[in-house]
Structure 1
Amino acid sequence: MPSTGNGRFPARRGGPDRRTAHIGLRRAADSPELESRDRRGWNELLSSGLVILAGVIVVIGFGIVASRAMRSDHGNPLPDPPPTAALGGVSVPSASPGGLIPLEPASPSPTPSSPSPSPSLSPSTSPPPSKKPVDQGAISIAAGGAPSTVDLTAEGKRDWVHWGEDGTFSLERNKNGGFAILEGTPTAPRFRHALSPTRFAWTGGDPVDHSDGTPTGIRTCGAGNAFTLSAPASTSSRTLRLYLGVVSAKGVLQARLSAGTATASATAEQRDGQFRGVVYTITYRAPKAAKINLTWTTAQAFGSGCGGVALSAATLF
């Protein structure tokens, strides 16, 4: 650039020089209006940034809380509820998360008007359970007078027996009776008699097939001598009928079961030498399959003759 004659450069055309421009800029920066405008812009920018930052923090915090809750539900199941108290019978409610629907309907809680009763510390007063009584069976004996005739076949549906038709030790019985009625071992002295006021008839017998009516039987003499018999017993009731006699003696009939403790007895007496016929109907039942055992004994003999008891016939039905 050519200088002037005074050694200074000429001023630029069309604008202020550098000093003038610098001064103008400083004045403009120091203007209060410009400074206020700049502050408002920064404040608005800072406020917007704070609002955005707060929103981000809230979103992140909610995500952390939800994540922890989900891990607590699936990874850390709630502990089982504590056991019910030993006294009082009060159930502790379960700590299940709110809003879950139980699989089974819950029992209704007691209303305040009907609280649960407190447990009683006194000992129980209920009686102990009663024991079932043991079945001992049953026996009953009914005495009756001797009839004039007896049809043993018609009466003894199960079995029948007659003694003394052919001799002292003879025994005639139902051939289809299955030996239900049995006599024990015979004892001596033992005699055949034909003194019975009753006539005994039968058909289908063995070894004697039939009889139109016989007064025969057997007897014994002296105190202590006896006849013994037995028949089947079961839980159902059965009836055994004995046709007996006594001459110048006191006779005692005793009955007992081979199972159970039931017993029964009967007595017949005839002091003179006449034959007295008696009939005993024995109804019995046992607690299980068993036998009834009978003994017809001369308890006392009167006079100097052959006093004792007699045996004629028996039927089972």
Structure 2
Amino acid sequence: MAEEDLTRTRAGATGPASHRASGTPARHRSTLPVPARVRAALRWLARFRQRRRFVLEGFAAIACLAVLVSYLATEPDPPGEGGTRPDGLPAGIGRPSAFPGAELRPPATGPASPGLQPRQRPPSPTPSGSAIPGPPVRPTLTVEQRDVPAQVDLTASGSRDWIHWGLRGGDSTVRKRDGSGELVDAGGRGVRGGWDANQETVSWRDGAPVRSADGTATGVYTCGAGSGFTLAVAGAGEARTVRLYAGVWMARGRLEVRLGELSRTLRMEDPHTLRSAEFTVRFQAPKGTRVVLNWVAEEVFTGECGSVSLQALTLR
């Protein structure tokens, strides 16, 4: 018995010849029957592994779908009807490259404005560079009187406009060629007559219908108390200077200048002979208004046509 056991032990230690030749240790498979509880546990383990594989594959599919959706969100939207996208932009316009996935929004227009319909925008604010109306023009008016220079250059004195009276009789007037037209002869009371005995002379180089004159002493006059001339100057919103060249013959003349509620009055008289003056009117008047000048014989000192006379009016 002992020898038999020893022989089995040696055979187990060395193994069959085939195993020794290959170098692979011998494997013994049990021939005992597997209990039912063990088989059930093995089946449960196999099902658990299969479910875990399904769950992992599902998570992988969801992750791939999320990546695809994110990629599609960065692509240009498909064109809508009429070649435009649903958001109203032309087809083919994508989102800004610096902000992937960012929605295109209209420029900010300030605080929300209630009552607007869809796609309406509140009015744009006035650009900072636009012209803003200035404050209203405040009327100003001053009147001065001085002796007339021996020679008056209407072209220099009336850079904007001028009028001369009496060159060819009582109804004759010469105006500045291409003048502004701001000076107006509004008539007056009395019959006008022409004369050529003024103490001072005037000249011009830009007149119409007479182009030029060199030292004419002509003018117009009207006789009797209350007779005279009414002139006007249109307001332009800017400061202006008007010069009136006028005189009296054995009379007292009154110059009344009115701008709205503003008025100035000057008088000049000579009971024996003639006298002339240069009246300077400086004013600023809003557009649409006028400065009115009334040069009237307030009193005459002779029954032989005591009068007031008018020679020229200039504007600069």
- TM-score, normalised by the number of residues in structure 2: 0.55
Residue of structure 1 equivalent to 2:209: 207
Distance between the aligned counterparts of 2:148 and 2:180, measured in 1?
27
Residue of structure 2 equivalent to 1:267: 267
TM-superposed deviation, 1:275: 1.7
Residue of structure 1 equivalent to 2:283: 284
TM-superposed deviation, 1:175: 1.4
What does the per-residue CA deviation read over 1:147-173, in whole Å, with 9 as the maximum and x for residues that have no partner?
Answer: 100110111110011000011110011
Residue of structure 2 equivalent to 1:310: 309
8 Å contact kept, 2:190–2:228 = no
TM-superposed deviation, 1:283: 0.4
TM-superposed deviation, 1:188: 2.8
Matched, 1:138 2:140: yes
TM-superposed deviation, 1:193: 1.2
Count of paired positions: 181
Residue of structure 2 equivalent to 1:194: 196
SS in 1 for 2:283: strand
TM-superposed deviation, 1:207: 1.2
Closer, same or farther in 2 for the Cα pair 1:234/1:196, shift >3 Å? same
Residue of structure 1 equivalent to 2:292: 293
| Superposition pairs of residues 84-233 of structure 1, within 5 angstroms | 137-233=139-235
SS in 1 for 2:223: coil
Report the residue type matching 1:141 in the other structure: V
Residue of structure 1 equivalent to 2:101: none
8 Å contact kept, 1:230–1:293 = yes
8 Å contact kept, 1:144–1:280 = yes
What does the per-residue CA deviation read over 1:214-258, in whole Å, with 9 as the maximum and x for residues that have no partner?
Answer: 00000011001010101121332111000000011010011112x
8 Å contact kept, 2:202–2:215 = yes
8 Å contact kept, 1:136–1:261 = no
Report the residue type matching 1:295 in the other structure: N
Distance between the aligned counterparts of 1:144 and 1:136, measured in 2?
27
Distance between the aligned counterparts of 1:262 and 1:287, measured in 2?
13
* Runs of 4+ with deviation above 3 angstroms: none
Distance between the aligned counterparts of 2:311 and 2:282, measured in 1?
19
Distance between the aligned counterparts of 2:187 and 2:255, measured in 1?
17
Distance between the aligned counterparts of 1:178 and 1:138, measured in 2?
21
TM-superposed deviation, 1:135: 7.1
Report the residue type matching 1:268 in the other structure: M
Report the residue type matching 2:310 in the other structure: L
SS in 2 for 1:169: coil
Distance between the aligned counterparts of 2:221 and 2:294, measured in 1?
14
TM-superposed deviation, 1:304: 1.9
Residue of structure 2 equivalent to 1:23: none
Report the residue type matching 1:154 in the other structure: A
Structure 2 gaps of 5+ residues are 1-135
Distance between the aligned counterparts of 1:248 and 1:189, measured in 2?
18
Distance between the aligned counterparts of 2:256 and 2:175, measured in 1?
23
8 Å contact kept, 2:187–2:231 = no
SS in 1 for 2:250: strand
SS in 2 for 1:153: helix
Distance between the aligned counterparts of 1:236 and 1:253, measured in 2?
23
8 Å contact kept, 2:166–2:194 = yes
Closer, same or farther in 2 for the Cα pair 1:202/1:225, shift >3 Å? same
Distance between the aligned counterparts of 2:158 and 2:270, measured in 1?
28
Report the residue type matching 2:290 in the other structure: K
Greater C-alpha Rg? 1
8 Å contact kept, 2:139–2:284 = yes
TM-superposed deviation, 1:178: 3.3
Report the residue type matching 1:220 in the other structure: T
Distance between the aligned counterparts of 1:188 and 1:290, measured in 2?
26
Residue of structure 2 equivalent to 1:251: 253
| Superposition pairs of residues 10-21 of structure 1, within 5 angstroms | none
Distance between the aligned counterparts of 2:166 and 2:309, measured in 1?
11
SS in 1 for 2:225: coil
